[in-house]
Amino acid sequence: MNTHEIKAMLNAKRDTLSAARQSARDEIALEKHSEEMDEIQQSATRTLALDALTRQWEMANLISEALERIEHSTFGICVECEEEISEKRLRAIPWAKYCIHCQELRDHSTADPGYAEVALRPRFAD
């Protein structure tokens, strides 16, 4: 897969996100309802739409960063360890900025803040 194909995929995903963001914005609109249950339902719908909008914004940022890395010829290089990101990973997640190892460390350290420190500590034989 070459960078032109990846760039086209990223641009298509960005366009899809843009359309979805507009739909989410429409659901956020504040409306006044006379019934309390309608107000509660509208509030729940608005909360879900805001969550979706946040995820779409984050994804759009990742896509923009990936397009910048293509322009700077650093696409496919892990921003953490500077090792090459596997083509298989880039095919699945073209906006990936970490190799699988660094991504796993980040995921685990987010879930358990002490994990990265333990995972990186050298192991000694007993």
Structure tokens that stand for 42 in this block: 């509208």
Mean pLDDT of the region 71-94: 94
For the cut 60, the answer to whether the pLDDT of residue 42 exceeds it is yes
SS3 label, residue 84: strand
| pLDDT band, residue 61 (cuts 50/70/90) | very high
* Cβ pair 88, 79 in contact under 8 A: no
* Cβ pair 54, 11 in contact under 8 A: no
| C-alpha distance from residue 31 to each of 22, 25, 53, 96, 100 (Å) | 17, 13, 19, 39, 45
φ, ψ of residue 77 in degrees (nearest 5) = -110, 130
Question: What does the pLDDT read at residue 118?
Answer: 53
Q: Is the model more confident about 31 or about 42? A: 42
- Picking from 49, 58, 54, the residue whose alpha carbon sits closest to that of residue 27 is 49
Question: What does the pLDDT read at residue 126?
Answer: 43
Question: What does the pLDDT read at residue 15?
Answer: 87
The contacts of residue 3 (CB under 8 Å, 6+ apart) are 70, 75
Q: How far apart are CA 74 and CA 65, in angstroms?
A: 11
Query: pLDDT tens digits, residue range 91-123?
Result: 999 999 999 999 999 998 877 766 555 555 554
Q: How far apart are CA 97 and CA 72, in angstroms?
A: 14
